[in-house]
Amino acid sequence: MGTKVNIIVGSHVWAEDPDTCWVDGEVVKINGEEAEIQATNGKKIVANLSKLYPKDMEAAAGGVDDMTKLSYLHEPGVLQNLAIRYELNEIYTYTGNILIAVNPFQRLPHLYDPHMMHQYKGAPFGELSPHVFAVADVAYRAMVNENKSNAILVSGESGAGKTETTKMLMRYLAYLGGRAATEGRTVEQQVLESNPVLEAFGNAKTVRNNNSSRFGKFVEIQFDKHGRISGAAIRTYLLERSRVCQVSDPERNYHCFYLLCAAPQEDVDKYKLGNPKTFHYLNQSNCYELVGVSDAHEYLATRRAMDIVGISTQEQDAIFRVVAAILHIGNIEFSKGKEADSSVLKDEKSKFHLETTAELLMCNPGALEDALCKRVMVTPEEVIKRSLDPYNATISRDGLAKTIYSRLFDWLVDKINSSIGQDASSKCLIGVLDIYGFESFKANSFEQFCINYTNEKLQQHFNQHVFKMEQEEYTKEQIDWSYIEFVDNQDVLDLIEKKPGGVIALLDEACMFPKSTHETFAQKLYQTFQKHKRFVKPKLSRTDFTICHYAGEVLYQSDQFLDKNKDYVVAEHQELLSASKCSFISGLFPPPPEETSKSSKFSSIGARFKQQLQALMDTLNSTEPHYIRCVKPNNVLKPAIFENVNVMQQLRCGGVLEAIRISCAGYPTRRTFYEFLHRFGILAPEALEGNDEKAACKRILEKKGLLGFQIGKTKVFLRAGQMAELDARRTEVLSAAAKTIQGKMRTHIMRKKFLSLRKASVCVQAIWRGRLACKLYDNMRREAAAIKVQKNQRRHQARRSYKLRYASVLVVQTALRAMAARNEFRFKKQSTGAVTIQARYRCYRAHKYHKKLKCAAIVAQCRWRGRIARKELKKLKMEARETGALKEAKDKLEKKVEELTWRVQLEKRLRTDLEEAKAQEVSKLQNSMEALQAKLDETNTKLAKEREAAKTIEEAPPVVQETQVLVQDTEKIDSLTAEVQDLKTSLQSEKERAGDLEKKHSEEQQANEEKQKKLDETEIKMRQFQDYLRRLEEKLANVESENKVLRQQAVSMAPSKILSGRSKSNLQRNSENVQVSSNDPKTAPESNSTSSPKKEYDIDDKPQKSLNEKQQENQDLLIRCIAQHLGYAGNRPVAACIIYKCLLHWRSFEVERTSVFDRIIQTIGHAIETQDNNEVLAYWLSNASTLLLLLQRTLKASGSTGMAPQRRRSSSATLFGRMTQSFRGAPQGVNLSLINGSMVTGVETLRQVEAKYPALLFKQQLTAYVEKIYGMIRDNLKKEISPLLGLCIQAPRTSRASLMKGSSRSNTNTAAQQALIAHWQGIVKSLGNFLNILKVNNVPPFLVRKVFTQIFSFINVQLFNSLLLRRECCSFSNGEYVKAGLAELEHWCYRATDEYAGSAWDELKHIRQAIGFLVIHQKPKKTLDEISHDLCPVLSIQQLYRISTMYWDDKYGTHSVSPEVISNMRVLMTEDSNNPISNSFLLDDDSSIPFSVDDISKSMQQIDISDIEPPPLIRENSGFVFLLPPPE
């Protein structure tokens, strides 16, 4: 029960106009039911009140994006809203969840770029500006969430942009589904690549469009269970087969016929074609060419498209042979034969075309002629061959042509589907239906009947969906809707398709009777439907009939209904083409079932059309529908032209007005409580008491006496006309308020005049009173002057006497004071002299002591500085002569080794000579002893004999006999005795000497044994060292040869390839071996003893293995250590410093192959696997950037790395000489000095090191990790603030009641303001937390600045794009809200300081200038130059145009910029239309890495790592002693 529209004088209304459809104006007079209207175009119109519609004078200047938000949902309101938005290039508009797309007839690339797709991805429907992407996104989300197939129905008349809309839908679905491309092509590309083929064979020129689709296309995008595209298929419906044989002027047949006639000459000759005017199927219309289209070029493009789709050259040739054959079939004409009801070929031309057709179809010409002119009838008794008359033969000919073309089109669709690839296992799909729209011409035949029947079916589906949406809206708002009637078009569908009395059934019945004509068919329709309200019989025609469709009445001419409906499946045709020698043609006509093989079965196009349409409706009913209505704004196909009559007709045909009619049957006007109170709160201010907006709305409506409205949960639902009633009441209240304001203003003017008069009179009175006062003042001044003269005279006399007395007293006082002063001066002079003498003496004494002390200090300083300088000089000399010292040490050691070798050999020779001399001496002594022993034995023997003789003489009897004693014998005996005594003495001495010699010999032998033992040990050690050195040199030679191969492969080697750790730093081991050897200089001479290496292959490699194990243990310990959180030493990350010092000490940077770098990288990679832990990410960003800085300042790429030739072993090289060669490549960053035989390593300064490939690769990997961690931290912050940004772009709405009550709700408003800014404070809090985390972890300020610069750029992009895509955000109050939020961000940047915030605030320039534009006053007075150069210099013309057209003032009701500025912007945009960059008004988020390694190196300060304390895990380990800081 709608309320009647209340129209009064002064109301603004819409009235019908024959030229512009609807015109707006103001009611100036009402006479009963007639109203006189002053139109805005200057005309005066008189119209009936019932045919007037109210106009919303408070409608937004840029229109509304959803027409359900219109205050008045009626035809003129919808038309005006579309026109306004089309003028602003807003081609998309919602009606609920139905999208209306107006063809702009120009390129708008900024609406379809990838960034726009990203904006609509996942966005709630209706949150952003209307777009075809939003419909596709809703369908995709519904499919994924509900696991149900969806369909998007794209409808509209020819030229409305259905095909382009379909392309955009498939592009967006491919963007969401994202299946990998097949052979370099995505599913969307494959489907679109098939369009030229389908357009060539399924499109034709119609009255309204040069490229009208004459078939329905349902593209199925198939998805797997993960929501990714798994396949696609194209289903075609309702091909207009009759167009092959019958074409109306000025239309054309299908494009392929004209393309083939314009093919290259060799193709034309091959198919025996010619000018299209020579073929019957083409010359029925006088239109043969399209303006601006070259059929020759299109033919080549179609051939290329066939190649892309996968149609082979042989198949293409067969296809065009079939097309040419159809043209030749149309030129076969028949005449009467000799027999009755028979026909023969008319002339030689027909015979030529028959033979050419048979040649192209590769069949027998005679069989083809029989198939066209004769029929075989099978009876139970016999088979009868019957001839056809010329009329039926012509029908048979056309039937054959239509059948061949239909089979060919079906084959093309199947071929395209097989090329695209279908997913048979797909459970969900999104279908995009592109089908012809409602048609109503001056002459409407069977084709228009079928098309309009299809649209009636789709309209019923659409109406059900709209009503369902209405039900869902009412149910959601919990209102009663049970009494609302549903508007349905089932009666029209019953009229067309119902059996047995529908139009199609009657048409099929008429076609089956041979003698039926179109007159009898029309009479049958008149009789059957004479009382049907949807069927009308014209008064001036006996064969036409009119059907009242949902879009209006359509007059059909039934002249050719019967001919176009006939579609015989002729067995002769089937048999003929099945037997074709061309496999392609025979494949188009597979053998039919046996029961139909020998009979002709009637088949009607209408019945088949109905079956296909039912199959399509079944498919649509199984899916969730979404609707897009395409509108063609003008018939000249040019931009910026909006023809109201044409658009209104399309809205009517597209069912949009029908949907509005359904909405009007319920509650067409819906307003949220806030909007309702904002607009109609003035009708009952007392109803605004309290905070219950729902109750306030209800009180206002009840007070105004409205009935039938409904109050939902969030909206007010008004019946048709009630909005106008409220507006009329509101107009009355505003009129009364205006009168009150006028009265108050007049009172104010009169009072102002009175006050000015009163002020003038007061001024005159003041002047006269002033003159009287002047006279009185003059008298008073004279009296005062006399008194003053008397006073001054008396004062002069008194002062004169006083001065005399004063002078006398002063003379006396002066004399006395002068005497006292002279005495005091004399005393002071004496005291000053004494003090001066004392001061001079004390100064002299102090100065003398100071000079003495100064000389001593200077001497001490000079000596101390000299000592320090000498130490420094010595140190510098030691460093300068480091290489020379090593060389001298080497030379000395070589000389010493040679000397020791010579001494050992000399000692061997001396020992040999000594042993030989001793042996000779011993043999001589033994011989002399033997000779003496023999003499002694002989002497003893003689002595024994003499003693025996003497004894015998003594024992003999004494006989006195004188014997002569010979003196000679006695002397001889004495001499012998003496000689014996001498011999005994000599023997004794010889024995003693022999004993001494034996003792000495034993001692020498013992010493020789000890020396021999030591010599053997020395020789063993020497052989070990020689063998060990030989093995090292061999391994070095092998490593260098391997390095040559590796360097050759380094170019093609992947940078991230893991290097093998098999050969771990042989040079490193050599340097450590030098340390071990140089620690014990005493053993050096012994180790220089050389011997023949007889057992060199028997020596084990145990020292090498132990060294490898020790090195591996140290690396394992380092990895375990850095895996822990080591913290910071000051502002230096401990882990980075420890890693750097270890790598530098181990000389890993100079090693050709090592695994320590890979293990460090893996440790970092494992640590940052948890991407959400910002503490860990910040910790490793600090460590990685510091380590990268140290490497950047230390490493340098060696130009000759690994390219030096293999060192040759010099025959004169000694052991230490060869071992010291390993020091020649020592890095300059390592200070090596031999102090008391021990090696001291110190990392004091960062110097350049010749880096090998693993070190350089490690640096690259570390750089990649710094960038990765930086990106993870930045993206985490983006994720955290993204939900808040969506809430920050639009201010929460405050209750209208609280806004109108003013100061009585001050506390509430304060709380509301705090709640409004809460989202911005959440962003500030997140920024502060992140900054604290980065500060605590000592992330370099340079990286912190980069992070926040990109974050603010992200905030700028998100807020700015949301502002441009959501019209409700482009308001004055919302600008103030965002401006307050930006002030919070500015305050945060100030608190964060430039050290960390940097230029982050400058990144918000786009949103700052856009918001500045929203909140400035007097926008209409601003010129384009002021706006583009002063207010918003950063914004482009496209961005300024969009903001200007979307702006609306919800606070003061002011307007946007002037129309002149808008038109100037449009001119500039037109000039830049060819520039795709300038056309895009959205900003792109830059997610690149905004720095390089050099930037980090330049921005970070020098780091001192010498005093870094090692962590406890490695502090006590002897292998990490070098990490301990040096003692002070």
Active site residues: 158-159, 163, 209, 212-213, 437, 439
HSE on the CB side for 1169, CA within 13 Å? 6
Residue 665 phi, psi (nearest 5): -65, -20
Cα distance between residue 1044 and residue 840, in whole Å: 88
Residue 1238 phi, psi (nearest 5): -120, 150
- Amino acid letter, residue 83: A
Cα distance between residue 1170 and residue 1177, in whole Å: 9
Q: Which of 95, 28, 103 is nearest to 64 (CA)?
A: 95
Q: What's the token pair of residue 421?
A: 């690839």
Q: Classify strands 383-387 and 374-378 as parallel, antiparallel or unpaired.
A: antiparallel
* Residue 157 marked as a ligand binder: yes
Cα distance between residue 63 and residue 59, in whole Å: 7
Cα distance between residue 841 and residue 1280, in whole Å: 82
Q: Classify strands 535-536 and 544-549 as parallel, antiparallel or unpaired.
A: antiparallel
What is the dihedral angle through the alpha carbons of 1143, 1145, 1148, 1151, rounded to the nearest 10 degrees?
A: 170
* Residue 736 marked as a ligand binder: no
Cα distance between residue 1153 and residue 1253, in whole Å: 8
- Cα separations in angstroms, 1260 against 596, 1137, 1191, 1253: 77, 18, 10, 11
For residue 1527, with 0-12 CB atoms within 10 Å meaning exposed, 13-18 middle and 19 or more buried, which class applies? exposed
Residue 1524 phi, psi (nearest 5): -65, 135
Cβ count near 933 (within 10 Å): 11
* Residue 302 marked as a ligand binder: no
Cβ count near 1424 (within 10 Å): 20
Cβ count near 631 (within 10 Å): 27
Burial profile 635-664: b = 16 or more Cβ within 10 angstroms, e = fewer: eeeebeebbbebbbbbbbbbbbbbbbbbbb
Whether 1385 contacts 1323, CB under 8 Å: yes
Cα distance between residue 701 and residue 709, in whole Å: 8
Cα distance between residue 1514 and residue 1046, in whole Å: 35
* Residue 1127 marked as a ligand binder: no
Whether 1296 contacts 674, CB under 8 Å: yes
Q: Which of 144, 143, 125 is nearest to 135 (CA)?
A: 125
Whether 1508 contacts 1132, CB under 8 Å: yes
Q: Residue 593, preceding bond cis, omega within 30 degrees?
A: no
* Residue 159 marked as a ligand binder: yes
Cα distance between residue 1223 and residue 1209, in whole Å: 16
Q: What's the token pair of residue 96?
A: 């609920």
* Residue 163 marked as a ligand binder: yes
- Cα separations in angstroms, 653 against 269, 452, 626, 967: 46, 10, 18, 188
Q: Which of 1528, 1103, 1109, 1178 is nearest to 1340 (CA)?
A: 1178
Distance of CA 1452 to the CA centre of its chain: 40
Cα-only R_g, the chain: 59
Residue listed under structure tokens 């460093």: 879
Whether 1484 contacts 1442, CB under 8 Å: no
Residue 1351, sorted as left (phi over 0), alpha (psi -120 to 50) or beta, turns out to be: alpha
Q: Could you tell me which residues are annotated as the binding site for ATP? A: 156-163
Q: Could you tell me which residues are annotated as the binding site? A: 156-163
